[in-house]
Every structure is written in C-alpha cells, then in structure tokens.
Structure 1
Amino acid sequence: MHIRNAKPEDLMNMQHCNLLCLPENYQMKYYFYHGLSWPQLSYVAEDEQNRIVGYVLAKMEEDSDTTHGHITSLAVKRTNRRLGLAQKLMNQASKAMIECFNARYVSLHVRKSNRAALHLYQNTLEFEISEIEPKYYADGEDAYAMKRDLVEFARIHNIKPSDPTFFDKKPDKKNVQSNASQATISPSPTSAS
C-alpha cells in the first residue's frame, strides 16, 4: 500500500470510493473545490495495482479566529480496512495542515452511530468530542463534532511548521473546553432509519 498526495486525475476515483463506502456523498464539483483550493491536504491510498482504495478529503476553515483544518471525508474500501490506512491518511493530512498552514487543530463530524469511526478518532487519533450537532445529517441523525490538537501532534511527531512562533502561541479561550463541559459518549440504540 502506498499513500500519496491526491492529484486532479484522482478525483473521480476518490468519488467512486466515497460512493462505495459512505452514506454521505458529494458532487464532483466539491472534490474539485477541495483539490484546487487546498491541493496539499488531500491524500489517497493505492494498492499494488495503483487502484485507489482509500482517501482523505481535507480543507482549511476560513471563518475562524484560529487557523484550523477540517476533514470533509475519510473512506477506506472494506477489503482494505484494518491495515492502518485511515490512520496514515489522517496523519498525513494533519501533517500537511501544520507544515503548509500552521493549523492548530483539525475538526471533523461523525455520525453518533458510527462506533468504528468513533473508536478510530478517539482511541487511535486522539480526537475529542467538542459538541453534539443535532440532526446534522440529511437523514436526521446527530453528529459528534470532534477536534484533534495539532500543536501536540506536531511536537510528538517532530513536525516543523512554517511559522517559527507556532509552538509559542496560546490557544484561543473559545477553543479550550473544560473536562466538565465536554460531551461524552453514552450507550444508545444504533442509528435511526
């Protein structure tokens, strides 16, 4: 397996992978928007025959006081899961967010019923739930909004941001949450139909 930066000619295969793997699907123009606006941030996983078996579609958020990235979509084909590809894709996108844009954190949304993704995000990638967004998805299911601290990720993985003061900056108060106010996952019935 090989992880590399996504190219414009990969976008159709990324969309195909999305259609096979996820209930949330995007029009091709959305892939082009990401690829043209933030070409450094999206990655693909290829098998030995150079077929795309997974991808991460990422962008920078432009409407915030704190520079941060956002994972729009992450997918790995079922036959290629449990190989660490999702973790590698996410880490590569996170690294690029730091090196290219000095992102201080990365955010994403995940269905409350998607236990496998929650396990990956919380236990492997160290995302934390920042809030619950009611009826976020088209079918009415709630989403967990999650964040990953990229300052600590950069320190641990010895990633060099382009801004030399990156590690000296203090986070905005609005992005710091006390443990008491963080949302927690409680057992609940699986997704609504």
Structure 2
Amino acid sequence: MLLQVFVVSCKWDVGTLYGSVVCLSFDLFVNSSGVKMNIRCARPSDLMNMQHCNLLCLPENYQMKYYFYHGLSWPQLSYVAEDEKGHIVGYVLAKMEEDGEDNRHGHITSLAVKRSHRRLGLAQKLMNQASLAMVECFQAKYVSLHVRKSNRAALNLYTNSLGFKILEIEPKYYADGEDAFSMMRDLSAFAAENKTDSDNLEIKSESAIVSQC
C-alpha cells in the first residue's frame, strides 16, 4: 500500500490572532495499494473531533476549553491527520513553555492516533510537524513530554523513532497514581536536517524553473 501524506498550511483567524505555517509534503510507502492521508494544522472546527479521538484513545482527557486554550495561544503547533473522507484519525496537541528567552521549548500535551490507522507512521509525522513548527515559529531549543511508564508502544516511538531521552521519573504523575517518564528531545539537529531538506527543495524548484525558460 502506498500511503501519501500531504502536509499543508493552516490559518487561525480569531479577532486579530493569526497563525500560519507552510510545510513540506511527505510520501510514506507502506505496502501495495494506495491510501491518501492529510496532515495539517488544526482548525477551530476540528476541536470536537480531536476531543472525540482523545476520548477513544487515551485515559488522559481534557475539557474543551483546554483545546481552545492551545489553539488560541499557539495556533501553529497543533496538527491533525485526516483520511480521504476528511475524518480525523489522529492529532497532536502542543504548546510552548514560558521559561524565558534563553530556554524556549515546546511541550507535547497529547498525541493520539485511532487504532484503525496505527502502524502507518502518522504519530511520527504529527510529532515531527509540531516540532518543526516549534522551531520555525518560536525558535524552540527542545521539546518535552510525559508518558506513562507502562506505555511501551509510546516509549518505543519516542526513544527509537524520535530521539527523545528520559530525564527523570515523576512519581504518581497521573490521576490514577501511575508514574511518568519526563522526556526531552533536542531540536537543534532536527532543525538543521529540515533546513537542509528545505534548501534542497528550493534549489530543485529553482532548477526546474530555469530549465523551463
């Protein structure tokens, strides 16, 4: 199946608030027939569906005002994955932490992908897109998150696929008393890699224009 993942730009317009991120496209090869997915910035109209996805997938749930808080404060940082019919099958909810100019970093509040669309690489794409937006829009140095000690699948994604490191264990972090791993990903190398990819894309585009003249 050939899974084509297109990452597109977004806008939030709430009063004078405006956020816009322009992103690259991705192609993910899975196996023999084709499925097209979109990854894009979350819009205000997506928030109910994001909450529904959260309720289906995770024990950590949030009131709607918390989704609005993220969207209004950091409209560039939260993304959704949608299928060919426009149904939201995954999301990442992200924000910036206010620790001063010298310690700018992002935080992943929540990440979920519906069971029917797991093992397609969507969680990794969502995480990378949110991280890239943190770097491009807020010059983030790193991104942090918390994960349950028992969530082996998420730990594998964060450590092996995304390069997060465990900083410490936070005892009884979750409402049910389970401990959390506090994790961090350095975004400096990730930012440099994506700048190189972007520069190469611009060079190819300029070459194509020249060849048409």
TM-score when normalising by structure 1: 0.81
Among residues 128, 134, 139, which one is paired with 1:91 in the alignment? 128
2-structure distance, mates of 1:151, 1:30? 29
The structure-2 alpha-carbon separation of the partners of 1:110 and 1:159, relative to structure 1 and needing over 3 Å to count, comes to farther
- Aligned-residue offset at 1:159: 6.7
- 1:52 corresponds in structure 2 to 88
- Which sits farther off after the overlay, 10-19 or 150-159? 150-159
TM-score when normalising by structure 2: 0.73
Q: Does 1:29 align with 2:56?
A: no
Contact 1:98 1:159 in 2 (8 A): no
- 2:139 corresponds in structure 1 to 102
Q: Does 1:42 align with 2:78?
A: yes
SS in 2 for 1:147: strand
1:74-96 CA-partner distances (Å, limit 9, x unpaired): 00000000000000000000000
1-structure distance, mates of 2:166, 2:127? 17
- Aligned-residue offset at 1:155: 1.2
2-structure distance, mates of 1:82, 1:37? 31
Q: Which residues in structure 2 correspond to 1:129-140 (within 5 Å)?
A: 129-140=166-177
- Structure 1 unaligned runs (5+)? 161-193
Q: Does 1:2 align with 2:38?
A: yes
SS in 2 for 1:82: coil
Among residues 100, 104, 124, which one is paired with 2:161 in the alignment? 124
- Aligned-residue offset at 1:157: 2.0
SS in 1 for 2:51: helix
State the number of aligned residues. 160
Q: Does 1:14 align with 2:50?
A: yes
- 1:179 corresponds in structure 2 to none
1:105-139 CA-partner distances (Å, limit 9, x unpaired): 00000000000000000000000001110000000
Q: Which runs of 4+ in 1 moved over 2 A?
A: none
- 2:190 corresponds in structure 1 to 153
- Percent identity between matched residues is 79
The structure-2 alpha-carbon separation of the partners of 1:79 and 1:139, relative to structure 1 and needing over 3 Å to count, comes to same
- 2:112 corresponds in structure 1 to 75
2-structure distance, mates of 1:79, 1:148? 28
2-structure distance, mates of 1:76, 1:134? 26
Over the aligned positions, Cα root-mean-square deviation in angstroms equals 1.2
**Greater radius of gyration (CA):** 2
The structure-2 alpha-carbon separation of the partners of 1:47 and 1:139, relative to structure 1 and needing over 3 Å to count, comes to same
The structure-2 alpha-carbon separation of the partners of 1:60 and 1:76, relative to structure 1 and needing over 3 Å to count, comes to same
- Aligned-residue offset at 1:8: 0.5
